[in-house]
């Protein structure tokens, strides 16, 4: 199926023939669904901390954070197009020469558009849009309501306007304060200063498309003085991109290599699992991971920050104990009582239920990256959640599993999903160094059998795409995982522009 020309193209892309053949074999064989045993719940894989425990963990972190290097890792790739989906549909479907806006709203399922139209003045970007309207549509004030809305949306989304449809989500104005508006990028800096700084320095690493680098750099230069002065913090921002060598080959519905009009192979980005390579290059003792759009207005940050500190305190507490036990076992200084204590730690603190007896296997279980994951009570939001899973070796472990990984046609599996009490908001604190301070190679702790095969199209033709194991799913499958309940108030993603109307995105001043 592959020619010498293909081989040259593959290697020019940073891949090799063996990798691509392996990907083609994966398409042919398919990826077996995750076998969930039960949903994790409070007391069954999810820890619920009382007030005293929360305070203890926060204090534990506060006392040690200045001795650690800390980085906040923010996946921020991709354009904000989906955030404005119903606005694009409005431009496509509304014709002011045929109907009024009110009739358009009543004629179909346009509730989101109606909410948007009533709330325009409340959005942080309203003044920027109005400025573009004055430049591009001088007839705006004399126009009917529907036409004015068209002009407003065009001035937001189109290239001749603010071009929000092509901008990354991190650069969209989210919050409106009395003297200025802030982007999600700026709010990530502000939030980091509350919990992810050491000795008044905060380090943040963002991943996004290379084309967006100049825009983020410009934004950083614009806001760093304002946030730095307010938070008495010096910010250090670094960037990386999803690497071409993490792309995967596309295939036809018959699992043959998909080719473009010129007969070349088509490679596609392999999902957020590709960012494991980026995370693996971050050198820090503690890494916080949080999505770019999960921010709140500054009035609400203090509450969120306390729970981040709690998760970090939990990480440091467990990590210190694990390091002690690894050192003890490596020095062969354990007693039968110590072995019993280690097994209890593995069972109760690290949620490991298949525990061996010999020293080398005990060391293997302790000598792994650790992640503490904040999980929130299930609200029916799409996405992954914490489950007990049995792998093909028969080993049971706690994992974050996406619905796409589960065979929902299997009634038993579907019932287990319906019983899930908690949801994964992507709120992780990671320890990626061993007891000697050496970095783990994180690629050794991924499960390659937990990717996704998705159906897409290109040039009007159907294709199948392969996504690598998700960054907080299969890419961390062999980490030691701890799930801790955090309140829903810490989870405020902006999936559509109207989410910015929620209380947590509305500053008091």
Per-domain residue ranges for the chain? 4-77+169-505, 89-157
CATH 3.90.550.10 fits 4-77+169-505, yes or no: yes
Tens of pLDDT, residue by residue over 294-339, are: 999 999 999 999 999 999 999 999 999 999 999 999 998 888 899 9
SS3 of 503, please?
helix
Q: pLDDT value at position 404?
A: 85
Q: pLDDT value at position 384?
A: 84
Q: pLDDT value at position 289?
A: 97
Quote the CA–CA distance of 239 and 220 in Å, as a whole number.
12
Q: pLDDT value at position 393?
A: 86
Contact between 248 and 270 under an 8 Å Cβ cutoff? The reply is yes
Q: Which residues of 378-409 are buried (b: 16+ CB within 10 A; e: fewer)?
A: eeeeeebbbbbbebeeeebbbbbbbebbbeee
How far from each other are the two terminal CA atoms of the chain, in whole angstroms? 63
Quote the CA–CA distance of 185 and 170 in Å, as a whole number.
5
Strand partners, 453: 466
The mean pLDDT of the chain is: 94
Spatial CB neighbours of 131, under 8 Å, sequence gap ≥ 6: none
- HEC readout, 159-227: CCCCCCCCCEHHHCEEEECCCCEEEHHHHHHHHHHHHCEECCEEEEEEECCHHHHHHHHHHHHHHHHHH
Q: pLDDT value at position 78?
A: 67
> Can you say whether the dihedral through the CA atoms of 103, 107, 108, 111 is positive or negative?
positive
Quote the CA–CA distance of 474 and 447 in Å, as a whole number.
5
Those residues of the chain that have pLDDT short of 50 are: none
Within 13 Å and on the Cβ side, how many CA atoms surround 228?
13
Q: Tell me the pTM.
A: 0.94
Quote the CA–CA distance of 329 and 307 in Å, as a whole number.
33
Instruction: Determine phi and psi for 159, rounding to 5 degrees.
Output: -60, -35
Q: pLDDT value at position 458?
A: 87
Quote the CA–CA distance of 284 and 67 in Å, as a whole number.
11
Q: pLDDT value at position 381?
A: 67
Q: pLDDT value at position 382?
A: 64
């Amino acid at each position: 199926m592959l020619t010498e020309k293909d081989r040259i193209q593959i290697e020019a892309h940073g891949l090799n023939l063996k990798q691509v053949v392996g990907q083609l074999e994966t398409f042919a064989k398919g990826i077996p669904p995750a076998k969930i045993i039960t949903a994790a719940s409070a007391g069954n894989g999810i820890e619920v901390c009382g007030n005293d425990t929360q305070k203890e963990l926060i204090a534990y972190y506060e006392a040690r954070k200045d001795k650690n290097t800390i980085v906040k890792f923010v996946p921020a790739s991709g354009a904000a197009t989906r955030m404005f989906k119903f606005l694009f549909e409005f431009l496509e479907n509304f014709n002011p020469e045929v109907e009024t806006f009110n009739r358009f709203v009543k004629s179909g399922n346009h509730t989101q558009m109606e909410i948007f139209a009533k709330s325009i003045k409340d959005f942080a970007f309203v003044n920027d849009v109005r400025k573009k309207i004055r430049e591009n549509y001088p007839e705006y004030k004399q126009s009917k309501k529907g036409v004015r809305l068209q002009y407003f949306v065009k001035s937001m989304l189109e290239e001749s306007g603010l071009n929000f449809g092509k901008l990354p989500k991190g650069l969209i104005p989210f919050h409106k304060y009395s003297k200025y508006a802030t982007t999600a990028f700026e709010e990530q800096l502000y939030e980091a200063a509350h919990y992810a700084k050491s000795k008044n320095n905060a380090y943040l690493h963002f991943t996004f498309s290379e084309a967006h680098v100049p825009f983020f750099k410009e934004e950083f230069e614009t806001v760093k003085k304002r946030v730095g002065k307010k938070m008495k913090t010096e910010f250090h921002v670094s960037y990386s991109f999803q690497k071409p060598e993490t792309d995967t080959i596309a295939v036809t519905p018959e699992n043959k290599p998909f080719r473009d009009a010129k007969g070349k192979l088509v490679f596609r980005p392999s999902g957020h699992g590709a960012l494991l390579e980026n995370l693996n290059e971050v050198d820090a003792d503690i890494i916080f991971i949080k999505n770019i759009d999960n921010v709140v207005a500054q009035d609400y940050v203090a509450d969120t920050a306390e729970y981040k500190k709690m998760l970090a305190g939990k990480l440091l507490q467990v990590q210190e104990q694990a390091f002690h036990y690894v050192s003890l076992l490596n020095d062969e200084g354990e007693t039968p009582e110590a072995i019993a204590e280690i097994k209890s730690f593995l069972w109760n603190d690290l949620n490991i239920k298949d525990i061996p007896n010999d020293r080398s296997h005990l060391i293997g279980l302790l000598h792994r990256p650790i992640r503490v994951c904040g999980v929130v009570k299930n609200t029916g939001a799409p996405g992954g959640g914490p489950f007990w899973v049995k792998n093909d070796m028969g080993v049971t472990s706690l994992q974050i599993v996406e619905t796409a990984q589960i065979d929902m046609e299997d009634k038993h599996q579907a019932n287990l999903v319906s019983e899930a009490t908690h949801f994964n908001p992507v709120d992780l604190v990671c320890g990626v160094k061993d007891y000697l301070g050496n970095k783990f190679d994180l690629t050794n702790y991924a499960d390659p059998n937990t990717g996704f095969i998705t159906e897409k199209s290109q040039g009007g033709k159907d294709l199948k795409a392969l996504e690598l194991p998700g960054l907080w799913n299969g890419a961390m499958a062999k980490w030691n995982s701890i799930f801790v309940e955090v309140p829903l108030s810490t989870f405020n993603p902006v999936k559509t522009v109207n989410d910015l109307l929620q209380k947590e995105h509305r500053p008091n001043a």
